[in-house]
Amino acid sequence: MFKYGSLERILPRQNMQLAYKRVVANKGKSGIDRTTVYEFKQFLIT
């Protein structure tokens, strides 16, 4: 699974939340890191 700590160093949390909403709206699937939309949502709310 992707190391979220490094992601937070380059992207503000607000940008990640906006990207999450767009992926959900497009019924997105997990990407190269195999993190599901559900798993990423859990990261955003913690």
pLDDT per residue over 1-46, tens digit each? 455 566 677 778 888 888 888 888 878 776 777 888 888 888 777 7
Give me the numbers of helices (H) and strands (E) for the chain, helices first please: 3, 0
- List of residues 6+ apart from 41 with CB closer than 8 A: 20
pLDDT value of position 1: 46
CA 4 to chain centre: 9
Cβ neighbours of residue 34 closer than 8 Å, sequence gap 6 or more: 1
Cβ atoms of 20 and 44 within 8 Å: the answer is yes
What are the structural domain ranges in the chain? 4-45
